[in-house]
Amino acid sequence: IDTGAYAAVDLGASSGRVMVGRVGPDRLELTEAHRFKNRPVRTPDGLRWDILALYAGVLDGLRAAGQVDSVGVDSWAVDHGLLDADGVLLGNPVHYRDTRTEGVAEQVWASLPAGELYAATGLQYAPFNTLYQLVAARGTAQFAAARRLLLIPDLLTYWLTGEQGTELTNASTTQLIDPRTRDWSREVADRLGIDLGLFAPLRRPGDTAGLLLPEVLEETGLAGPVPVTAVGSHDTASAVAAVPASGERFAYICTGTWSLAGLELAAPVLSEESRAANFTNELGLDGTVRYLRNIMGLWLLQECVRAWGDPDLGELLREASGVPALRSVVDAGDAAFLAPGRMPERIAEACRASGQPVPATPAEVTRCILDSLALAHRAAVEQAQRLAGHPVDVVHVVGGGTRNALLCQLTADACGLPVVAGPTEAAALGNVLVQARAHGLVGDLAGMRGLLARTQSLTRYEPRGDTARWRAAAARLADR
């Protein structure tokens, strides 16, 4: 056989989808079988993922997908479910934007200084890293009853197959993995009193995770056996795998709710300078390191659009393109924008506090957000090259933000580099390609990328002059 069909379950912060990828020697086609909303729920206990609704969406999607050769699951990182001694889920997984981790990092650093933690794990500071979530959960009745922790894709894989594992790329976002050995950091776990026995054994992209259970086959109408293949289960790992680059001199920006901007490296960068710049060393496919920075991304715009009662996005972007550039910018890397709610007000406050004109209309706020994102992209791409000693000639933009032509053009302008935008469904494509590879249909990472470059539609944006203006704006922002 020289073609295969693979179902990619790809869960994002605002929607989930099940895509079917058909792969052959010169063929890579992706169709959407099912898309469903991911609607987090605020209860008196905090912000929670509606995991059963997500799982129901996965089952509906597999039914709609029809017969496939394998299934792979990816989602956002760090979050997890806790299971009791019988393997039963203890409550709804906590959302990484929940406030329970406020102040926890400082508490952790008192026993394990931030510098040592970075040297051991290479992970950027983010309040929601699994490590801080675990420390926040300590002392709760739920945590006392927990015998196993499964990251979101691993939890869904467990429900689909009955098998427990911890996929490596996503495990690297827990802040309990040493990026040099690509294995658990016993030292960090011991010093913080975290029992690594909570975690199921590591598995790597390409490993077989199990077979769909009889009740899943019945529910979805699929004929067994259907294997579930471990993929880069961190959505960003799958998206980076699907960057259609050739060679090594490229930066990438995975856009969506977040912008994840950086480089693919052969080894982690664990310097103090890198820590101060808040770059992370997450693990990618085939021994690679995803050296990148988390930028708030289109979350800023999504939250404004929600506050404005969902106006037409196309119209809003058209108007925003007519607003003068760089009038006011905010730090799109600032964790102050992490929590949901009141986003237009919070952006206005940030502009006022820094003595800039306060954007008034939705078009002005939108322009402020896109200029700010472009500047944050510029800073990340520029600093990553410097800190890693790894120069680039092109910036690949993948993910949902590729649909936003204004953002792509502004990113090219700000970086002073050509932007190649696409594919949009990068995470699903990376997921599919790792499954296809496990079944012998594509070669190494370079082979996967070659296939993407030949089959996917990509748009190129050349930088438009005026780099001095962006440089000056970047310097202003850095000085604040």
Catalytic status, residue 235: yes
How far, in Å, CA of 473 to CA of 235, rounded?
Answer: 32
- Residue 91 has what DSSP assignment? S
60-99 positions binding ligand LFR, by CB under 6 A: 76-78, 96
DSSP labels, 327-391: SS---TT-GGG-S-S-HHHHHHHHHHHTT-PPP-SHHHHHHHHHHHHHHHHHHHHHHHHHHHT--
Q: Does 49 bind ligand LFR (CB under 6 A)?
A: no
C-beta of 256 vs 362, nearer to ligand LFR: 256
238: number of Cβ within 10 Å: 32
Q: Does 159 bind ligand LFR (CB under 6 A)?
A: no
Q: Does 241 bind ligand LFR (CB under 6 A)?
A: no
Is residue 218 within 8 A of residue 211, CB to CB? The reply is no
* Among 161, 236, 259, 302, interactor with ligand LFR by CB under 6 A: 236
Number of residues that bind ligand LFR (CB under 6 A): 11
Cβ at position 96, least distance to ligand LFR in Å = 5
Is residue 285 within 8 A of residue 238, CB to CB? The reply is no
C-beta of 164 vs 257, nearer to ligand LFR: 257
Is residue 340 within 8 A of residue 272, CB to CB? The reply is no
Angstrom distances, CA of residue 322 to CA of 304, 406, 416, 427, 453? 19, 11, 21, 32, 33
Pick the stretch among 83-91, 130-138, 231-239, 374-382 that binds ligand LFR (CB under 6 A): 231-239
* Residue where the block lists tokens 């605002």: 14
Pick the stretch among 136-144, 234-242, 338-346, 460-468 that binds ligand LFR (CB under 6 A): 234-242
How far, in Å, CA of 277 to CA of 300, rounded?
Answer: 21
* Among 70, 238, 294, 366, interactor with ligand LFR by CB under 6 A: 294
C-beta of 199 vs 470, nearer to ligand LFR: 199
Q: Catalytic residue among 10, 69, 79, 235, which?
A: 235
How far, in Å, CA of 210 to CA of 460, rounded?
Answer: 41
225: number of Cβ within 10 Å: 8
Contact map string, positions 394 to 423, toward ligand LFR, x by CB under 6 A: ------------------------------
Paired strand residues for 47: 42
C-beta of 70 vs 257, nearer to ligand LFR: 257
Is residue 244 within 8 A of residue 396, CB to CB? The reply is yes
| Interhelix angle 362-388/343-353, nearest 10 degrees | 70
Pick the stretch among 232-240, 347-355, 417-425, 459-467 that binds ligand LFR (CB under 6 A): 232-240
C-beta of 97 vs 147, nearer to ligand LFR: 97
Cβ at position 258, least distance to ligand LFR in Å = 4
C-beta of 76 vs 158, nearer to ligand LFR: 76
Cβ at position 4, least distance to ligand LFR in Å = 26
Closest listed residue to residue 373, CA positions, set 407, 324, 420:
407
Q: Does 258 bind ligand LFR (CB under 6 A)?
A: yes
Q: Is the torsion defined by CA of 52, 53, 55, 56 positive or negative? A: positive
Cβ at position 77, least distance to ligand LFR in Å = 4
C-beta of 39 vs 249, nearer to ligand LFR: 39
Q: Does 252 bind ligand LFR (CB under 6 A)?
A: no
* Residues that bind ligand LFR in the complex, under the rule CB under 6 A: 76-78, 96, 234-236, 257-258, 260, 294
Residues annotated as catalytic are 235
